Amino acid sequence: DGGITQSPKYLFRKEGQNVTLSCEQNLNHDAMYWYRQDPGQGLRLIYYSQIVNDFQKGDIAEGYSVSREKKESFPLTVTSAQKNPTAFYLCASSKFPDRTPVTGELFFGEGSRLTVL
């Protein structure tokens, strides 16, 4: 079955450590995204990528880094520069809506919950 796989589901980190969250999709989607969700808040865009070897900063990119070496994979590194990294991280992908009836909606992974101790 096609889908998006995020790992790990839960992650604990000490202050000052970098951590990498994995995101893999087998939907053959062009675009991939990372969102952060905090309690009571909407999803905020960290980074997105429309093609391999290219990515764009979202609204809250500071303290994060990404790579897109393969179409299927879009890992997110939360660096020690991110001041408040405890959050629920969601990876998503979508097809470009260049042909109807493709709507290009986002498909989400199950999420990774990061806690900084």
Binding of another protein by 86 (CB under 8 A): no
Binding of another protein by 47 (CB under 8 A): no
Q: Which residue has the tokens 């979508």?
A: 94
Among 23, 25, 33, 74, binds another protein (CB under 8 A): 33
Alpha-carbon span 47 to 45, nearest angstrom: 6
Alpha-carbon span 6 to 24, nearest angstrom: 7
| Options 11-19, 66-74, 76-84, 92-100: segment touching another protein (CB under 8 A) | 92-100
Binding of another protein by 56 (CB under 8 A): yes
- Burial per residue of 70-82, b for 16 or more beta-carbon CB atoms within 10 angstroms, e otherwise: eebebbbebeeeb
Applying CB under 8 A, the residues found at the interface with another protein are 30-31, 33, 35, 40-45, 48, 50, 56, 58-59, 90, 94, 96-97, 103-111
